[in-house]
Structure 1
């Protein structure tokens, strides 16, 4: 592989562009005429490099030149939803499969862009040592180094989630260096990530000086997810694909994952999940900074390019077309059925009445989804086409013949409500304090419950019920395989549309939910007298290909270096 050849000045130009309007974390004037020496002679200038590296956190579009990926989330590549423009699944190549030359718009540049950040971080960690900035403010520089170490671990975790084992690079290289690198084992990558996180956690503060910066809790939360993923079926040597690039064979893997989650729980102490009384209070957990959040990114000018349209304007990006929204992710009917009834029974229970599909559901159904008849922004959502349109029985405002851009009408009969701030006057009003949440306490409880299932079911049950009970669901009393499935269902519903499901179903190797299934939707119609009916139908088929547990390494990288092994099946 011929590694990234970008001039440091280009990286700095990016830094200055990104933070030029920042007046919170930094209060310094930057110019792209600064030399590299100047950057490391002034701690305020060194901070700018760190701010750039924060772009590697979970912004769906870590490469802002990718237009589509600034406007869609990974839920559209998971069981949760379908990308909603005409009838396309193409941004993710979901129907046609992935190839080394084309993984779809949403995935194509993730390999190269991630290595850009690894290079930037490694250069910073090398050049800040012994610099004037370090002599000027040693404690502040120590924290910046810890943040960069955290961000390197974060970037590597993103790489191994998509690709399995990757080259471990701990130093920077010159502008014209050419070298060959083979991929390290998945297990070695996990060790490298965990070591970086432990090193960062030892220095990072408990509370961030500015919202969005890494903390001790953030580092330990990432470690919890890393070790949970590593312990999962996908990385068991008995499953396929297998071999050093994919396997994690530690005999203590579930205990390690449990210990990592418990470390976060112990560190937060008496701080627990914020109780809620109804769907509106639950919705508000995602609209403002609060104690449930362990690591999130700011939407404001603090990190101007860390957010994208789906984050800065989730209301427009996800609202139905009748509200002039784009409705870009249509939740699947398959996924909507994962939401329980209010009394905790499943929708596959014989008592479930499909004619009253939106009645009596659990609180999170109403907080997270828009559906036929949901009251939203001053009126009821209406996806229904009239059998005989008239002034008294018109087509629904949110139907394929409704208002706005009809190409963006929901293909499934659902839209995403989660993350939307209905108190804003318009869909395009900027929400400065709305966080983009990456890690929160409910996930850590679910991580702990899943890991403890393999060690102590009683403790697992206690922690999954902390999440379920907060959502006003009754206690889960299951055991054995039923308990594990209840933990998975709780994870799907509690963490929906937050970027988890794409990875969760893969690490569980749940082929019912990662491919080979139909994305189902509801077509609503209304009779002359206003009576509503729906038909369940297949929106699109998602075929399954055995190689799709991982993304392909771009063919251009393989062509540069024959020692760089391609992923299984490509």
Structure 2
């Protein structure tokens, strides 16, 4: 915990590299003090912009090169990261307190940003800019409250109840802070968000133009909706395991609270679904700000700095080999086969029209927008994963990062740019979108017994992509809501948490499947001119234990502070 106090020193020096020299260039880069920061509103803003680096982005974290270039989809059934020796996935039960693998710096990172926010909220109160620019400072305080709430929301999603720290440590303070209950953590987060909403004027319901990417009232309301939905979910029911104060949420109004939070944002009428009529419409929707994006992390040098590889993420990291990419996150065949047919039926459902000889034909449009597969038209050519001779086959010339599952991601990729030469000009990483809020509301209404209302809002999401309106009821309706979350929010960082809060992770911890394409002659021998055949291959054996519903507290933190370790570790 002592490291939190040092975060401010990093902020003061990093402000220069983030562009402050054009704001105040009268001092050497390492000479800015807190007096400078809080006497100049533009420098104060830059301080806040630095704290935005606590939000999610195209890379999971900065612990090493590979987690900078992939995301949390590889820790669920959505995708498989094909560098096997580094593939530390919770669903393989490899996570341990002394080896968090994929997640190993998340605890320290989030708490470092909590420290940055806490310091700001104390220092800003009597600062000169608070007197000279009171309206701007109120908005900056709201942004920081959101960022602290978001950091704590991620911490409790990963770990359950965590230590709540709301002010900077002083020299004589006890640095050992015990874990708070999960319920107290949720209350703390909701209070921060309510306080932020109160500070933001109605004109900041959305933030557009040069303010795009900054926290709005809508963003605060969206995070509140998500936090309350997660808290109401089965994982936090006292009847489930693990249980106890670190994990349980016992409020009798939990589902009504979740419904109300979502409906408040819906009724604000500040956002609307983008109409789509083709896979390209849907794919293009993620390449620029639009009417349904509530908050997106800017991915362009014209907005507050994002410390990431602009030219490599996500186009270089995720595009197929034949177009100059690394294709690091390979969608699983399991996940691809979950996409419905265009008529709204599952592939194994009677009347679906599914053809084993044309497995990608007549599927719902989000599959074509989100997944690159054998024969897909991408960057003006047809992808060919087949051996021998396919430009994306394992043995293709120069191939290093082949698609082990037989698939690459397509969602978020900008086919109009040249990889390694250009970057997509305004593409944001989506932190909150209106479809999530519709689905949050539908799920809460289902659990309140209001199935008609639940069907109405889940149908809005389904029908937007050409699927029929939802007609189901009971458990089948809940499965339809879960399906829409799976596909509408695919690869946006939701699936990992959804599977856990529903306590479905053990049910989908199945062996990871891929497909292998070959061209063979009449005798079954490889032949570049032969017929194309597909076989399923097992990529990885996965397992899941109850302890995996939460990450362990890092061993170093437990040894340093003596705080209670999570169940099962």
TM-score of the aligned structures, taking structure 2 as reference length: 0.93
Aligned pairs (5 A) from 1:233-312: 233-268=234-269, 271-302=271-302, 305-306=305-306, 308-309=308-309
Q: Give the conservation status (yes or no) of the 8 Å contact 2:311–2:420.
A: no
Q: Contact between 1:150 and 1:197, CA under 8 Å: does it hold in 2? A: yes
Structure 1 residue 3 displacement after superposition: 5.6
Residues 182, 246 of structure 2: 8 Å contact kept: yes
Q: Distance in 1 between matches of 2:214 and 2:472?
A: 39
Instruction: Work out the CA distance in 2 between the residues paired with 1:243 and 1:438.
Output: 30
Please point out which of 97, 103, 128 is paired with 1:107. Answer: 103
Alignment equivalent of 2:87, drawn from 90, 105, 116: 90
Map 1:441-480 onto structure 2 (within 5 A): 441-455=434-448, 456-480=450-474
Question: Is 1:318–1:328's contact at 8 Å kept on the other side of the alignment?
Answer: yes
Q: Secondary structure at the match of 1:148?
A: helix
Q: Give CA-to-partner distance per residue, 1:158-214, whole Å, 9 cap, x none.
A: 111111111111110136754221000000000000011011012222232511100
Q: Who is 1:122 aligned against?
A: 118
- Alpha-carbon contact 2:300-2:310 (below 8 Å) kept: no
Matched-pair contact (CA < 8 Å) for 1:298–1:436: yes
Residues 361 and 296 of structure 1, relative CA distance in 2, 3 Å threshold: same
Q: Which runs of 4+ in 1 moved over 6 A?
A: none
Contact 2:145/2:196 (<8 A) preserved? yes
SS at match of 2:535: strand
SS across alignment from 2:547:
coil
Give the 3-state SS of the residue equivalent to 2:472 in structure 1: coil
**Once the two structures are superposed, what CA deviation does each residue of 1:50-98 show, in whole Å capped at 9, x if it has no partner?**
111111111265753532221111101111000023x345244653511
Would you say the 8 A contact 1:18–1:303 is kept in 2?
A: no
Q: CA–CA distance in 2 between the matches of 1:344 and 1:541?
A: 30
The separation in 2 between residues aligned to 1:74 and 1:419, in whole angstroms, is 15
Q: 37, 40, 62: which is aligned to 2:38?
A: 40
Determine which structure has greater relative contact order: mean sequence separation of CA pairs < 8 Å that are 6+ residues apart, divided by chain length. Answer: 1
Displacement of 1:463: 0.4
CA distance in 2, matches of 1:521, 1:336: 10
Q: In the alignment, what sits opposite 2:54?
A: 56
Partner of 2:540, secondary structure, is strand
* Distance apart, 1:325 and its partner CA: 1.0
Q: Look up the match of 2:232.
A: 231
The residue aligned with 1:364 is 366
**Which residue of the partner structure matches residue 390 of structure 1?**
none
User: 1:543 and 1:421, CA in 2 relative to 1: closer, same or farther beyond 3 A?
Assistant: same
Q: Is the 8 A contact 1:506 1:514 kept in 2?
A: no
> What secondary structure sits across from 1:542 in the alignment?
coil
Q: How far has the Cα of 1:519 moved from its partner?
A: 0.6
Residue 447 of structure 1, CA deviation: 0.8
Q: Which residue of 2 aligns with 1:483?
A: 477
Residues 119 and 172 in structure 1, CA contact (< 8 A), matched pair in contact too: yes
Q: Is the 8 A contact 2:49 2:304 kept in 1?
A: no
Match of 2:141 in 1: 145
For the aligned residue pairs, the C-alpha RMSD in angstroms reads 2.0
Q: Distance in 2 between matches of 1:309 and 1:39?
A: 27
Determine the C-alpha separation between the residues in 1 that align with 2:58 and 2:180: 26
Residue 13 and residue 496 in structure 1: after superposition, are their counterparts in 2 closer, same or farther (change >3 A)?
A: same
| 2:453 alignment partner, SS class | helix
1:554 pairs with 2:550: no
TM-score normalised by the chain length of structure 1: 0.93
| Corresponding position: 1:131 with 2:133 | no
Pair 1:181 & 2:177 matched: yes
Is this contact kept in 2: 1:82–1:329, CA < 8 A? yes
Q: Is the 2:13–2:32 contact (alpha carbons within 8 Å) kept by the matching residues of 1?
A: no
One of 399, 403, 406 as aligned partner of 2:397: 403
DSSP 3-state at the match of 1:548: helix
Counterpart of 1:352 (choices 351, 354, 360) is 354
Unaligned 5+ segments in structure 2 are 522-528
Q: Could you list the runs of 5+ residues in structure 1 that have no partner in the other structure?
A: 387-394
Q: Is the 8 A contact 1:51 1:303 kept in 2?
A: no
Does 477-486 or 446-455 show the bigger shift? 446-455
Give, in whole Å, the separation in 1 of the partners of 2:315 and 2:46: 31
Cα distance change of structure 1 residues 375 and 63 upon mapping to structure 2, 3 Å threshold: closer
SS at match of 1:521: strand
Partner of 1:317: 317
Task: Give, in whole Å, the separation in 1 of the partners of 2:308 and 2:130.
Answer: 34
State the secondary structure of the residue aligned to 2:211: coil
Q: 1:329/1:171 Cα in 2 relative to 1: closer, same or farther (>3 Å)?
A: same
Residues 304-355 of structure 1, C-alpha deviation per residue, up to 9 Å, x if partnerless?
A: 6536348963121111122221000000011111111111110122552222
1:420 to 389, 402, 413: 413
CA drift of 1:146 comes to 1.0
Deviation at 1:222, TM superposition (A): 0.5
Aligned to 1:522: 515
Partner of 2:526: none
CA distance in structure 1 between the partners assigned to 2:300 and 2:130 by the alignment: 29
- Matching residue of 1:498: 492
Q: CA deviation at 1:293?
A: 0.3
Q: Which moved more, 1:446-455 or 1:214-223?
A: 446-455
Distance of 1:279 and 1:90 partners within structure 2: 31
Query: Higher mean Cα deviation, 288-297 or 427-436?
Result: 427-436
The answer on 1:79 being equivalent to 2:77 is: yes
In the TM superposition, residue 37 of structure 1 has moved relative to its aligned partner by 1.9
Partner of 1:219: 220
Equivalent residues in 2 for 1:532-543, closer than 5 Å? 532-543=532-543
**Shift in CA distance, 210/513, structure 1 to aligned 2, threshold 3 Å:** farther
SS of the counterpart of 1:385?
coil
